[in-house]
Structure 1
Amino acid sequence: MQHLRESAPRFEDWEGLHEALADAYFPHAMHPSAAPSAAATSGLELVDLDVCRLAHIRFGATVGIDSDHPGAVAVNIPLSGHLASRIGSIDHDAGPGQATAFPADTPAHMPAWTPDLAVLGLRINADHLVRESERVVARKGVSLPTDIDLRTPAGEAWFRMARTTFDNARDCGGVLYRDPQVAASVASMLVTGLLLAAVPEEPTGREMLRPRPVHRAIAAMEADPARAWTPADLAEIAGVSVRRLQQAFREHVGTTPFAHLHDIRLERIHDDLSHARGGNVTDVALAWGVTHLGRFAAAYRTRYGELPSRTLARAA
């Protein structure tokens, strides 16, 4: 997490803010059109996840922005106010509960970024988005729709994930996301969730899924349940899109892939604790990929009728 700038700019300060925004988010031309009020502040905060970045942006005065978004897609989500933009020859307007996706290498104009407008932006490298879209929806040539509704169940869930990622980084100063493996995992979840929330379903009439993709995914989870699996990882092994794999699990297993993975981990942990293998409860749980110990203990008690510590105590 980087706190790149936090100030109430005068007109002579705009060059510094322009440079910080260009380095953190996108190169652009900035056109201040009104002086800041005494109470208004500008600010830029960044969460760098390598292949994508989350940025919280606001300005202390009304400014116009022009950018071609070179090499990356921008998904701009107004947290307050409205974001008006023109992409090509089409005008767009997004308020809270909506987002605008700006395609890579395409001229875009935002005529009036007002002081009341605060934006949470997600910058995704274009090449990475292409690769992930092929893994997640199993189609080539997929692009994000320009207007994204975050008021759908999937949209709301993804928006909460993006806000939580940013808030966690702000709370811990970004320390957690400096680990490359953590950053890669969080980036994968953000991009996968966005694609599932924003990209329309495939046309109907295609051949129904067969159980084989489910068997492949289950075999992979059984072989390495401690791995930090992502939805895209499992879908790639199964040979289908993330959405199709989820549908197949619902039809043939009656649950989701990650709920099934959780069950596998509980079984492995229960077996180790029942035979006093692997150290204390925390050591055993972490060894099998559990990251939320409180929720794990509750789920274990629901399934086995006792706390994991009790299972270990009886085996000792």
Structure 2
Amino acid sequence: MEGMTVRLDTRDVDLARAQVAASYCPHQLTPRGAAFHARHAEASGEELGVFSLSYGADPVQVEPEPFQDFVLFSRPVAGSLTVGGDTHIATGQTVALDARSVHPLLFGPGCRLLTVKLPGKLIARAAAASGRAADIRTGPALDPGPWDAVTRFVVREVLPHGLVTAPLGSSVAQLVAVAALGSFGAPAVVRRHANAAAVVRRACEYIDAHADAATGLLDIAAAADVAPRTLQDHFREQLGTSPTARLRQVRLERVHAELLAGQGKSVAEVASRWGFGNLGRFAADYRRTFGTTPSEDLRRA
């Protein structure tokens, strides 16, 4: 998958067990046929890990230890996965695997999983901001919509542009955690009605003041004193955009101003200071926004 680094490509069961355990946890690995072929790729940041894992054409039984400090969200992009002996997850569906339970897994023939790993502390933070219990239980999504949308975003935008490990990785991880709670968490507590215009104003003031920090959706929602989902809804209603898109726009404007003022020795230095890790995508967004290239504006200073 584009944007992921291949960590493993082997027919050796012991090697596969050891390498995969480094990304997840200790586990038992039992092939149920002779066509064992482990392939594992990943893209990992401090708060978000994305993995692709398959074991070949024959079924494979996996018995992991409890995760303890993280939660997994696994989606077969080929084949199927059986969890606990009775929960069948087909291609295109996603199952959450909680941090405390034992999860016997059966990879069906040709199963390939796209798995997202989130730390429990990030889930707890997102839950507190959303007015939910920080309780992701094992099972399919109650409401697949938020998770399906964030999965498309991760595959199409985050991975190809290196945003898991770039300075924007924290923002992406927070967005993914909110979507996880929206699909797999308990219902949110109903909050008092907040004036949409006032919420957006507070959020924009926070974005303007903290655009140079590792700011994400949870931070902005906390400053605006609303749940992240409410904040997203108000931004769409009031501005026709999202909080994270507004944050990116402000950062682009800060880069633009610094380049025109001749601040910084290079485009890469200024872009990195404002959280842009993928220079190719940054340059394209910059040209689309300002009608010039970053290097042209730096030379013009």
TM category, shorter: 0.7 to 0.9
> Which residue is 2:81 aligned to?
83
Letter in 2 for 1:207: R
Say if 1:309 and 1:64 are closer, same or farther in 2 by CA, change over 3 A: closer
Q: How does 1:22-41 map to 2 (within 5 A)?
A: 22-36=21-35, 41=37
Letter in 1 for 2:31: P
Structure-2 separation of matches of 1:259 and 1:273: 21
Structure 1 counterpart of 2:8, from 5, 8, 11: 5
Alignment of 1:294 with 2:284, yes or no, is yes
Structure 2 counterpart of 1:162, from 154, 157, 169: 154
Letter in 1 for 2:152: R
- The runs of 5 or more residues in structure 1 that have no matched partner are none
Structure 2 counterpart of 1:131, from 125, 130, 153: 125
Alignment of 1:187 with 2:187, yes or no, is no
> How far did 1:188 drift?
3.4
> How far did 1:199 drift?
4.5
Contact 1:266 1:300 in 2 (8 A): no
> How far did 1:94 drift?
1.6
> How far did 1:58 drift?
1.2
> Which residue is 2:44 aligned to?
48
> How far did 1:30 drift?
2.5
Contact 1:282 1:293 in 2 (8 A): no
Contact 1:226 1:287 in 2 (8 A): no
> Which residue is 2:14 aligned to?
15
Say if 1:149 and 1:44 are closer, same or farther in 2 by CA, change over 3 A: farther
Structure-1 separation of matches of 2:19 and 2:298: 54
Say if 1:207 and 1:252 are closer, same or farther in 2 by CA, change over 3 A: farther
Letter in 2 for 1:188: Q
Contact 2:132 2:187 in 1 (8 A): no
Structure-1 separation of matches of 2:251 and 2:168: 20
Alignment of 1:118 with 2:108, yes or no, is no
Structure-1 separation of matches of 2:168 and 2:265: 25
TM-score (norm 1): 0.73
Alignment of 1:66 with 2:73, yes or no, is no
Secondary structure at the counterpart of residue 286 of structure 1: helix
Structure-2 separation of matches of 1:70 and 1:267: 42
Alignment of 1:102 with 2:97, yes or no, is yes
Which moved further from structure 2: 256-265 or 14-23? 256-265
Alignment of 1:93 with 2:88, yes or no, is yes
> Which residue is 1:214 aligned to?
200
> How far did 1:269 drift?
6.0
Secondary structure at the counterpart of residue 54 of structure 1: strand
Alignment of 1:147 with 2:150, yes or no, is no
Structure-2 separation of matches of 1:78 and 1:248: 34
Contact 1:138 1:240 in 2 (8 A): no
Secondary structure at the counterpart of residue 229 of structure 1: coil
> How far did 1:2 drift?
6.1
> How far did 1:93 drift?
1.7
Contact 2:93 2:140 in 1 (8 A): yes
TM-score (norm 2): 0.76
Secondary structure at the counterpart of residue 97 of structure 1: coil
Say if 1:58 and 1:264 are closer, same or farther in 2 by CA, change over 3 A: closer
Say if 1:168 and 1:29 are closer, same or farther in 2 by CA, change over 3 A: farther
Contact 1:145 1:199 in 2 (8 A): no
Which moved further from structure 2: 206-215 or 265-274? 265-274
Deviations 1:244-286 (A, max 9, x none): 1112223444543234445545665666677x55369947973
> Which residue is 2:279 aligned to?
none
Q: How does 1:235-250 map to 2 (within 5 A)?
A: 235-250=221-236
Structure-2 separation of matches of 1:155 and 1:76: 11
The root-mean-square deviation of aligned C-alpha atoms, in Å, is 3.8
> How far did 1:118 drift?
0.8
> How far did 1:145 drift?
6.6
Secondary structure at the counterpart of residue 26 of structure 1: coil
Which moved further from structure 2: 181-190 or 209-218? 181-190
Say if 1:106 and 1:240 are closer, same or farther in 2 by CA, change over 3 A: same
Overall identity of the aligned pairs, in %: 21
Structure-1 separation of matches of 2:254 and 2:44: 35
Structure-2 separation of matches of 1:252 and 1:117: 44
